[in-house]
Amino acid sequence: MFKVIFWILAIWFVINVIWMWFKLDNQSLQKTFAWINVIAVIVGFWVYYGVSHDAGGIAPWFLGMNWVNVVIACLQFYYGYRKNNQ
């Protein structure tokens, strides 16, 4: 289960980051992706701390990806909920 969730979250992470940077002006999309990221972060940390896994291998990458996803979600909330002064 640990590896499967890792790869699902890794694929989501790549798609999310690429799509986010190409659509920075689309606030609706940024809000949607930010909330999906909140769910991905919750699932990621729940799996990391709740499922047994080896200390090495992909575990450090999993934890690192979760923390980077927290930062990405914060950026998406910023771009999604900021006020445009245009």
Average pLDDT along the chain, 86 residues, taken 10 residues at a time: 89 90 86 93 92 82 92 92 72
- The pLDDT value recorded for residue 65 is 92
pLDDT of residue 3: 86
Report domain extents, the chain: 2-21+28-81
**Residue carrying structure tokens 């990458």:** 61
- In eight-state DSSP terms, residue 24 is T
CB-count exposure of residue 55 (10 Å: 0-12, 13-18, 19+): exposed
Q: What is the pLDDT of residue 82?
A: 84
Q: What is the structure's pLDDT at 9? A: 92
Q: Are 40 and 69 in contact (CB under 8 A)?
A: yes
What local confidence, expressed as pLDDT, does residue 24 receive?
A: 80
